[in-house]
Structure 1
């Protein structure tokens, strides 16, 4: 029985209205955000997911990672909370963008899509995955039920936390990892313990597109036993026979389903081809993770009788507005921001960075996408090089971008990229006095990887340049006093 009912108030802010989805380990409610006056979706996870403190910490970490990404084809995560029930148990919940439409799974109950539409949807899903993979976020449960078809295109639901509400596979609990997903879309390598791999999302996308084109899964897999059986038998994927489907798209779809992750195309390549040559990603903002003050356990309270409902029924589109605003701010204030960034110790204080960054080169969005005086006056000439990173967070993000690009070109092995990305992300942890040592160690790791042939010389040089540029920016700020 659900612990939630209509008119319940969460965090003294979100008032539940009606349940719009129910699964084995989660339920989704339409709710009103009474602070920002907008409709939102509240996804409450089962209480057993909160019983284990380690699992609860993982849920928070996954939600925090997903909240850093805004993209037109991604459902935005707004907030995370934990509601305390009268019996003392906790219910973790996420507050997300409310998306109107129907899932691809619902659409497929009436049969496959025409191939141009199927490829267009797959291209939008691929664009969302490419943007997420660039910042180290892997979905891990791409399937038709997690793709929403809206008037403005497809949106991928539940980035970072989809697998928390899915069935566990037989190895769950043996490795300390969250090994969940959906059998028919489960990449073979995921049956072996190991870190999340972007190539696993590509496999799932290939299975999704295959089913969207043909109406059936590429392999006869419904249970975890079927997954093991298909792997043992090495069952081949039947060729795609869809009238009018371009041969290269059929080949790419089958390549996604290769048992060898290294032979699969990247999500960025799929987005470009399936999008008929359009860029893999529109301008995408990576939002900083802001330190949130500690608060007492959230209570569930009955909403007062005279709660004023929010009149808006159509979900807002914060991603588009925030991207346009971000372009104006970057264009008009980048020089000022670089001069006002705080001392190195601020990286350890928990304060947000002075400026947000985009995953593309720091060029403001085209004025063709917006109009009015702000966009007309704020567009400078496009810089040819990215500004030097002035905070450790910016340095880590720049490292991640270079590594992702190198991975897509096959210039670095996946383990080395993962190691360097992780070490870069750890630079702003611990005491400020230890940071110089960690920076030197990272520089040494890059040099060792280049010497061993595990990373291309051009990529190694770009990473070393980033470290040098960061060091010079710190010296410059110190001279300014």
Structure 2
């Protein structure tokens, strides 16, 4: 097999033009490619270093595409296509086409330093939500590790379903190709037990442990080192971490799969540990407050000038006490004022009407402000118990891409959110009053998007 195939510029399956190689691993190489049919950038995963006679191994690419295509979740990298290209040796090489993600892997981020437990919990929630969706669709990832978690501008994404399996599928690989990385493998996989969601929860526990400490519980590179390391328990997490966080990680890392929590439970517990920050005041309110302050200042200045004018009138109208025969000396260029003919008090000055400031019309709601209002409504509902924590996190995850979406796409996404809110309300996960408020906020967002495109 040619190690330098394919070169940049190769057109795969008459559609995907290879741009640059992003990564090369033991089983695959990842390319940045251009989909010339749909005119969009994609990631193309091509098996490498594999014997073409090993049809079972090459079959993994097709299996990965099938497994990942079952899933649609904001925290799971989307799979677009499965295809094959002819190699120079004369056999077909299958490949998987996925969405191209910006950002960096969690592994690259941890190479710089560990994360705070709050940051770790936030990433853990996203991964747990993605796993919950996968498990609900009968898919077990089996390779949860920092290298398969991407930190992107639109949120956390898990990727690489290369060794995933259907729930209950026998783990009968004798080659070790689908075993994954020793430091992240759950104990039951070494015993050949069927694929089960608890395996992914163990990987999530390893992920949480490594994010706050910088190393996995068993920092090993080989299976022999893993066997030796497992004779003793891993070192305890730092005592300064919250007790609930440490206990949750320990539950995930239990040796017995049936004693581990579900991914959904982990998400709820992590969400309970990290209450959302108070949402910022909407820009609209800050703008109205500014205009109100300016109007008040104008009114005060008008009243001050009126008072000064009244005082000047009183001074001019007051009777003179100087003798008429001896007018006081006046400065050069100023004519002395004559004594008044009468000592009758001056008439009070006419009160000047204070003008009423014209009300300032509120600026139309912007898309970003409308998104902030929806997000704040979800968070308040979670804090008040009107929205179940895992449902609230799911809604917040769905809101993440809206800030970067084209205004024309926002209305379509709002309809999806409206349906999601209605489904969750029907099942009792969202209080009806909070659902009504959310629907109103989403309608405001839809109108703001329509104005932006108009």
Partner of 1:267: 263
Within 5 Å, which residues of 2 pair with 1:220-259? 220-231=219-230, 233=231, 235-241=232-238, 243=240, 245-259=241-255
- Secondary structure at the counterpart of residue 133 of structure 2: helix
Within 5 Å, which residues of 2 pair with 1:63-462? 63-158=65-160, 160-161=161-162, 173-174=173-174, 179-231=178-230, 233=231, 235-241=232-238, 243=240, 245-276=241-272, 278-279=389-390, 282=394, 367=439, 368=441, 371-372=445-446
Determine the C-alpha separation between the residues in 2 that align with 1:373 and 1:50: 56
Higher relative contact order (CA 8 A, sep 6+): 1
Displacement, 1:220? Answer: 4.2
Displacement, 1:14? Answer: 1.2
Query: Cα deviations across residues 281-312 of structure 1 (Å, max 9, x unaligned)?
Result: 6269xxxxxxxxxxxxxxxxxxxxxxxxxxxx
TM-score (norm 2): 0.60
- In structure 2, runs of 5+ residues without a counterpart are 166-170, 273-381, 383-388, 397-403
Displacement, 1:59? Answer: 3.1
What stretches of structure 1 move > 4 A for 4+ residues in a row? Answer: 319-332, 360-370, 373-376
Contact residue 123 and residue 275 of structure 1 kept, 8 A: yes
Displacement, 1:118? Answer: 1.2
Displacement, 1:324? Answer: 5.2
- In structure 1, runs of 5+ residues without a counterpart are 165-170, 285-313, 333-356, 377-481
- The alpha-carbon distance between structure 1 residues 39 and 261, as it changes in their structure 2 partners (threshold 3 A), is same
Determine the C-alpha separation between the residues in 1 that align with 2:26 and 2:411: 35
- The alpha-carbon distance between structure 1 residues 362 and 11, as it changes in their structure 2 partners (threshold 3 A), is farther
- The alpha-carbon distance between structure 1 residues 330 and 269, as it changes in their structure 2 partners (threshold 3 A), is closer
TM-score (norm 1): 0.57
- The alpha-carbon distance between structure 1 residues 39 and 49, as it changes in their structure 2 partners (threshold 3 A), is farther
Displacement, 1:132? Answer: 0.5
- Secondary structure at the counterpart of residue 140 of structure 1: coil
**Which structure has the greater CA radius of gyration?**
2
- Secondary structure at the counterpart of residue 30 of structure 2: strand
Aligned length: 310
Contact residue 205 and residue 252 of structure 2 kept, 8 A: yes
Determine the C-alpha separation between the residues in 2 that align with 1:315 and 1:91: 35
- Secondary structure at the counterpart of residue 50 of structure 2: helix
